[in-house]
Each structure stands twice: as C-alpha cells, then as structure tokens.
C-alpha cells in the first residue's frame, strides 16, 4: 500500500506525568489577586484514569463580605461562610502546606489559568503571615497548553468550553472541587491528544509553559491594542505560573 492506514500509524503513549497529577482550584470573593480572598478551595490527586486518589475541600470565612456577584457564581454567601467557614489563616495555611507536599513529592499540580489561583494564594499567605509558595513547580496549566497546541481554534477558552472540547465531563462548574478535577482530566486529555509533541517530563513542560504564556500574553496585548482595549504602551502580564 502506498499510504499508511490508521491501524498502521504509530501509537504514542501519554507522557509519564499524566499518570499521577495534583489538582488545585479556588473560588473567591472577586478577581483581583492582590486584594480578593479565598472562599472555597480544593486540592487533590488523580490517577491515570482521572479517578481521585486524594481529595480535600475547604470552606473559609474570608473575613470580608462576599459580593453578591461572586456568590451568584460559586453559591457561597457571606452568611454561610461566616456560619460554617473556618478562619482564613487556617485554611490558607493548610492549602499551602498540601500543595507544598505535592511539589516536594514530585507530583505536578494542574491549575486552569494557574497565575490566578497561585497568585491569589500567594497574597492570601502574605496577608496572614504564612510563608507563600514563591516558585511553585512543576505546574501544568491546560489553558496555556491548549492555546499552544491548538492556537487557531475559534471560540472561548473557559474551562467549561475547553472541557467539552476534550470530552471531559464538568458537573457543577465554579465549584472548586468540580473545576479542579475537570482541569486535571483536561490536562490528561491534552497529554493523550498531543503525546507526540509534548515534552516527556513535567519539569520540561513547566519550563516551556513559561515561554508560551509570555508569547500568548504578548499576542493578546497586540490584539487589544488593535481594537482599542489597551493603549499602545500597555501590555498584559505574561508571568507564569505566579505573578
């Protein structure tokens, strides 16, 4: 035969890092990483099939009122957080400690739009006198990886949309646990879809994402300048995975 049939094409195994991944997500009082607060958090570990090996959830009393707009997204009101949430310093300290333990064990942590969650966690830690994660690694950000390997795909890149694109089920979007697990499974789906081109190790993928995120921010900045959303001298921050 002159051309290979699908059955004759070589099969590529998913990268080693897809076999065990940590997952991390926050729901918060708003979108300003330096001033907003954690309301709920999830940190867990998934096996190669996307099944949870470990899972821990937190509800915090952020110490400030939760805006109605934020409550409408994640479902937690100020009254509920004050009645049932634990003190913010305790929650922040435990989240940081669990993530630090995963990194120390060499387990990559998946976070969708990682600079948001890791940066907000950093400022919360500093606010409460807790030693923050200064340089979390290795981190896998499905948003950055998806843009790198499928740059020209039209449509939004929210977790809901990207999860649907990779046939990952997401029930209860904007619940920290549901979002974290879905992001981890999307990362594993990316590992399968782009196996021939992905770096073999989480550390190398982490390094590449630093450059990809910077280039993506620069490209978006140019577009925003073109449509008048940014002034010509303004640029989006492409720092990754923490700002």
pLDDT score, position 9: 39
Tokens of 142: 């499905």
Query: Per the domain annotation, does 215 fall within a domain?
Result: no
217 by Cβ neighbours in 10 Å (0-12 / 13-18 / 19+) ranks as middle
Domain harbouring 181, CATH code? 3.30.420.10
* Residue range(s) defining the domain that contains residue 123: 15-196
Label residue 173 by pLDDT band (50, 70, 90): confident
How far apart (Å, rounded) are the C-alpha atoms in residues 63 and 86? 10
pLDDT score, position 11: 56
Tokens of 79: 């009254």
Strand ranges across the sheet with 52-61: 86-87, 52-61, 38-46, 21-28, 109-110, 139-140
Query: Per the domain annotation, does 96 fall within a domain?
Result: yes
pLDDT score, position 22: 98
Query: Per the domain annotation, does 129 fall within a domain?
Result: yes
- What mean pLDDT do residues 73-91 have? 98
pLDDT score, position 6: 40
**pLDDT tens-digit profile of 2-43?**
344 444 434 578 899 999 999 999 999 999 999 999 999 999
| DSSP code per residue over 78-115 | HHHHHHHPEEHHHHHHHHHHHHHHHHHTT--EE-TTHH
**pLDDT tens-digit profile of 135-168?**
999 999 999 999 999 999 999 999 999 999 999 9
Structural domains in the chain (count): 1
In whole angstroms, what separates CA 131 from the centre of its chain?
A: 21
- What mean pLDDT do residues 84-110 have? 98
Q: For residue 214, which of 123, 130, 126, 141 has the smallest C-alpha distance?
A: 141
Label residue 89 by pLDDT band (50, 70, 90): very high
Cβ-based neighbours of 107, under 8 Å, separated by 6 or more: 20, 21, 22, 45
N-term to C-term CA, the chain: 54
pTM of the model: 0.93
The owner of tokens 């920290």 is: 176
How far apart (Å, rounded) are the C-alpha atoms in residues 172 and 74? 9
**pLDDT tens-digit profile of 189-243?**
999 999 999 999 999 999 999 999 999 999 999 999 999 999 999 999 999 999 9
Query: Per the domain annotation, does 226 fall within a domain?
Result: no
Supply angle C-alpha 240, 23, 11, rounded to 5: 90
User: What is the 8-class DSSP label of residue 232?
Assistant: T
pLDDT score, position 13: 84
């Amino acid at each position: 035969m002159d051309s290979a049939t699908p059955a004759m094409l070589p099969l590529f195994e998913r990268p080693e890092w897809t076999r065990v991944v940590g997952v991390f997500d926050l729901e918060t009082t708003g979108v300003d990483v330096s001033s907003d607060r954690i309301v709920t958090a999830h940190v867990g570990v998934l096996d190669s099939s996307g099944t949870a090996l470990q899972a821990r959830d937190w509800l915090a009393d952020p110490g400030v009122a939760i805006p109605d707009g934020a409550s409408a997204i994640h479902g937690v009101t100020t009254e509920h957080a004050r009645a049932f949430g634990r003190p913010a310093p305790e929650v922040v300290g435990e989240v940081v400690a669990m993530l630090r333990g995963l990194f120390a064990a060499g387990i990559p942590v998946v976070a969708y739009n990682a600079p948001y969650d890791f940066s907000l966690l950093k400022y919360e830690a500093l606010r409460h006198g807790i030693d923050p994660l200064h340089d979390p690694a290795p981190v896998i950000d499905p948003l950055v990886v998806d843009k790198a390997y499928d740059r020209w795909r039209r449509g939004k890149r929210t977790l809901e949309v990207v999860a649907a694109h990779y046939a990952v089920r997401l029930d209860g979007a904007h619940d920290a646990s549901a979002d974290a697990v879905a992001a981890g499974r999307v990362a594993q789906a990316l590992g399968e879809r782009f196996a021939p081109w992905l770096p073999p190790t989480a550390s190398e993928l982490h390094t590449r994402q630093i450059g990809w995120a910077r280039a993506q921010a620069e490209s978006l900045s140019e577009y925003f300048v073109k449509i008048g959303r940014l002034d010509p001298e303004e640029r989006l921050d492409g720092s990754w995975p923490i700002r």
